[in-house]
A = this chain, B = another copy of it.
Amino acid sequence: MKSPGERASGAARRGAGRSGMAVPGVGLRDVAQAVGVSTATVSRAINRPEVVSAELRERIAAAIAELGWIPDGAARALTTGRSQTIGAVFPTLGLGDFPRAANAIQRHLLLQDYTLLLACSEYDPEQEFRQVRKFAERGVDGVILVGLAHHPELIPFLEQRKLPFISSFVYDPAHHGRCVGPDNHKALVRMTDYLADLGHVRFAVIAQETENNDRASARLAGIRDALAMRGLAVRPQHLAIGTWTIEEGRKLFAQVMDTDPRPTAIVCGNAPLAIGAILEATARGVRVPEDVSIVGYDDIEIMNHLPVPVTTVRVPGEEIGVRAARLILDLLMGREPDYPLESEAEIVLRASSGPPPGAAASPFHAQPEG
């Protein structure tokens, strides 16, 4: 047996070599040996260059480049206790601003030398919890969730393990510092007010299932609360709940329009539903906005290009993604965030909304408040 002092160099030590290593055969030891210094010095040259003499630093850098060495993340994670990794669980990547935000998170994390682990829950809290446990196992340093409603054991799990986490796509003052996004309730209050100010009184709502989806639920509540302020409410037959496909939007549009009295304004809870509603309307010869106003949520590109461009709530997905990344890192480092956590959900006015049928077109009807 060799004494500890005379360990063979990495390259020689591992024969056929385990597969799966970052750089088969090249380890920190080999770099150290090549330069003629200890591994400690090489390690310091990487992590705290200022404590290593300039000349040595250069020789080490040269050797690293020469050997093509890449530090082993697992070993590093083991000693430092940080994996430089953040996990995010999104409901899906096929809806609204989620892909944009995911991309933004990933890009921003990379700038700070962090890597993103991404998973989808498909709106199922069980699955979300499973994904988060997997992340914990992989040793993520923090977790980005979507929304505030989760599996009952999820938050305790994260807290017990002291894993920092934030909620995105949602802002709630009660959770300040732990969430970034728009205030969904406020956004739909404003949208509803805008429509009501145009004179609408018969509102229909086409929205996603609100169970396990606090954002959808906040939007619905926003509509209801804004209407209630004016003594109005959504008739049961004007409330249609479904998924997030265009197909569904068409179906639900038909459903709420086949009622008496008909609604004069339809608020859609997500982009595909709004697209479906608009397309079904044009297909049926229902004029938008003359016969019925239709508004959506999420301003994806097509909203502005449909036969009738759609009035919608614009959620700044890119901004939310970047802030989510910043916030989780700040939380991790114990820094105080110095940027707003609430994103403004802007109401983008387009042709799909107008005064209700029969109302005198006011000369200045299309100005939303604030």
| Contact status B272-A72, CB under 8 Å | no
Contact of A75 among B72, B78, B94, B117 (CB under 8 A): B78
The answer to whether residues A275 and B106 also contact, given A99-B94, A162-B19 and a CB cut-off of 8 A, is no
| Contact status B137-A73, CB under 8 Å | yes
| Contact status A24-B78, CB under 8 Å | no
User: In the complex, what distance in Å separates the CA atom of A307 from the CA atom of B85?
Assistant: 45
Per-residue interface assignment for chain A, residues 65 to 86, with 1 indicating a CB less than 8 Å from any chain B CB and 0 otherwise: 0001011111101101111110
Interface residues on A, range: 35 or more
A212 within 8 Å of B by Cβ? Answer: no
Contact of A103 among B22, B24, B72, B94 (CB under 8 A): B94
Contacts of A138 in B (CB 8 A): 73, 84-85, 115
Contacts of A37 in B (CB 8 A): none
| Contact status B120-A117, CB under 8 Å | no
| Contact status A93-B102, CB under 8 Å | yes
User: In the complex, what distance in Å separates the CA atom of A133 from the CA atom of B305?
Assistant: 39
Task: Identify the closest chain B residue to A134 (Cβ).
Answer: B115
In the assembly, how many copies of this chain are there? 2
Stretch in contact with the other chain, from A202-210, A224-232, A243-251, A341-349: A243-251
Contacts of A68 in B (CB 8 A): 160
Contacts of A19 in B (CB 8 A): 81, 162
User: In the complex, what distance in Å separates the CA atom of A276 from the CA atom of B120?
Assistant: 30
| Contact status A72-B82, CB under 8 Å | no
Contact of A246 among B24, B92, B305, B307 (CB under 8 A): B305
| Contact status A106-B81, CB under 8 Å | no
19 A–B contact pairs at CB < 8 A?
A20-B82, A20-B141, A22-B137, A23-B136, A72-B78, A72-B139, A73-B74, A73-B77, A73-B139, A74-B83, A84-B138, A85-B138, A92-B103, A103-B120, A110-B134, A115-B135, A115-B138, A276-B305, A282-B307
Partner-B contacts on A (CB < 8 A): 18-24, 68, 70-75, 77-78, 80-85, 92-94, 99-100, 102-103, 106-107, 110, 115-120, 130-131, 133-139, 141, 160-162, 245-247, 250, 272, 275-276, 279, 282-283, 301-302, 305-307
